[in-house]
Chain A
């Protein structure tokens, strides 16, 4: 099966008619089509369109618990632009298979009814154009069977898959084992062999029942014991299946709970934010306390600042007197007082009381301060001069501290406001809900552990019944032979039982060999796809007897639990390719490998290896990639290998729809970004 083209009309965000032509291996050596778009542009819708057209399925495996009716396929803006009018949504797929061209068309009608949209299946048509050019319509009732004969719906997920989800194949669980078992059995198509085994078993039972009614007592007893034992074994098998279902349901419930818990991620973020704010608040409060201590130490300085104006006035006054020459006085007061008491001037002349000279000296005396006052004034002047110089520094310091304290307090107030805001956003009830969900999840995990333990015990019981069956069958055969070789019914019964055993042996041998073959092939590819470090350590993939996958390290020890999500993705792809290669007897897979988000979890070296290797085993590779996973580096690798044939850009329109734009490779390179652009 090779996809040629897909036409969409009003499907999801693709309004009107739009088309994609896939590059096919018939167009030279190129085999890769890249559909490129940012998130939300409709890559997964294209994936969904293919699934819808081929199998009528709306839901994808990655939809999780999204209900079918929640997935609307009809274009919303077409519905809104035509109120009351039915809108036709069509997906048409043209593909080639064994030299015949198939044109499959599936349509639905959508209509708005009040607030909801009703969608009904409208048309399903398939035309086959044969190599001679004749076209034949296929009856509607036969379409599913025809498509299943080309790509069995049971194995579709191996070829049309989400790159990030496919790593589930490496998860050791009952469902995963079941899925791999189904993959191997379905892809290798051992259905006929399984039916044959069951039919021969039915034949054996019917012959042995006949024999029980008509023969020897010992034989009858043995047959009854064998029948009872087989019934017990059947019950064990049913219990195993039931336990597997319960485990599957519990795992689904865990997935659902995880989704619910994701809603609380916002709260987790807020809780972290609150913790950070509380931490910040604590720091600020500490700083405020330190600032207070410093301010307390400044109190003595601060009080002097209160008297600063007075001090400055006094200083200025003394300074002014100093400037005027009043302090110190030109003539000392004690000299004047001595002149007045001795009534004699320093020049020797007499100073009479009442004389003009005497009056003059009295005036001097009045103006002249005493020595101690002058000395005190001068001392005060010197002291104040010194003190005055500190006033400005102290004032600056006090002002700075006050400002700092004010800032800290303002910051504390802001943090408190933010804290209040965050606490309001968190809310008490949601926190309780999140805790409850966490507890529920824990209980589910415990329940899975207990169920798996029960499954292991049941499996052991099942194997014991099997051993007892083998023993009873051997005894039965002896007894049948004893009863008489000439008994025709015994001979028929022995032949049927021997054939049943032979078919079982061959079937087990075949699946064992196939598992080994797939393991070897997967290992080879795995090592080619791994990066250097991975290759150093990871050596062998094995498909275990219970169909679980395992990877062994260089010491041949199981290492699956330690590998990364990217390595798991690589391992799953290797397994799928090996499965397909084995089924195709080593040839290329004649089916498109359709990968949504192919490189999301992969390192550059893994991407590089995948780009180089996938075209060697897949005839057609269709990549649905985002701008961050398909960059110039990846594009250049594809271009250099000559494998890249088509590029479609998904571009959003003003009305919220998406246009599919066909671009040549060179202009595609201009659209893509470099790794550095994201740094």
Chain B
């Protein structure tokens, strides 16, 4: 129960399940943010998300 490492995927699974109702690029950015947050602090995650958001935005532009 208190084994946080085994608990975490369950919480994230639930969150990801709930994110399914959102547009794919929002879901992807949110998922990447959670994944990065498991290992990095807030500032580092925000920095790494800059490139993720750029890629997703370009992908979206391509689709549009």
Q: Mark A131-167, 1 if CB is under 8 A from B, else 0.
A: 0000000000000000001111001000100000000
B15–A199 touching, CB < 8 Å = no
A199–B18 touching, CB < 8 Å = no
Which A residues touch B8, using CB under 8 A? 189, 192
Of A190, A191, A492, A510, most buried by chain B (CB within 10 Å of CB) is: A492
B1–A199 touching, CB < 8 Å = no
Interface of chain A residues 446 through 493 with chain B (CB within 8 A):
485-486, 488, 491-492
B36–A491 touching, CB < 8 Å = no
B33–A196 touching, CB < 8 Å = yes
B3–A196 touching, CB < 8 Å = no
Q: State how many residues of chain B have any CB contact under 8 Å with chain A.
A: 41
A492–B7 touching, CB < 8 Å = no
On whether A495 and B30 interact (CB within 8 A), knowing A187-B2, A584-B1, the answer reads no
- Tell yes or no: A202 within 8 A of B by CB: yes
On whether A203 and B46 interact (CB within 8 A), knowing A189-B7, A510-B14, the answer reads yes
Quote the shortest CB–CB distance from B10 to chain A (angstroms): 7
Q: Mark B30-61, 1 if CB is under 8 A from A, else 0.
A: 10011011100111011001100110111011
Which residue of chain A has its CB nearest to the CB of B28? A499
A496–B29 touching, CB < 8 Å = yes
- Tell yes or no: A580 within 8 A of B by CB: yes
Which A residues touch B15, using CB under 8 A? 193, 506-507, 510
A150–B3 touching, CB < 8 Å = yes
Which A residues touch B1, using CB under 8 A? 580, 583-584, 587-591
A496–B19 touching, CB < 8 Å = no
Which B residues touch A506, using CB under 8 A? 15, 18-19, 30
Which B residues touch A485, using CB under 8 A? 64
A195–B18 touching, CB < 8 Å = no
Of B1, B25, B34, most buried by chain A (CB within 10 Å of CB) is: B1
B18–A198 touching, CB < 8 Å = no
On whether A199 and B22 interact (CB within 8 A), knowing A188-B7, A193-B37, A585-B10, the answer reads no
Mostly helix, strand, loop or mixed at chain A's interface? helix
B60–A491 touching, CB < 8 Å = yes
B11–A200 touching, CB < 8 Å = no
Give which listed residue, A150, A195, A202, A495, contacts B2 with CB less than 8 A: A150
> Please, how many angstroms separate the alpha-carbon atoms of A149 and B6 in the complex?
10
> Please, how many angstroms separate the alpha-carbon atoms of A207 and B53 in the complex?
10
- Tell yes or no: A662 within 8 A of B by CB: no
B45–A195 touching, CB < 8 Å = yes
Which B residues touch A587, using CB under 8 A? 1
Which A residues touch B2, using CB under 8 A? 1, 150-152, 155, 159, 187, 580, 583, 589-591
Q: Mark A503-546, 1 if CB is under 8 A from B, else 0.
A: 10011011000000000000000000000000000000000000
Which B positions have Cβ atoms within 8 angstroms of A? Answer: 1-5, 7-8, 10-12, 14-15, 18-19, 22-23, 25-27, 29-30, 33-34, 36-38, 41-43, 45-46, 49-50, 53-54, 56-58, 60-61, 64
A-B contact pairs, 19 of them (CB 8 A): A97-B3, A159-B2, A192-B34, A193-B37, A200-B30, A202-B43, A207-B53, A485-B64, A491-B57, A492-B54, A492-B57, A495-B53, A496-B49, A498-B22, A498-B23, A499-B33, A506-B19, A510-B11, A580-B1
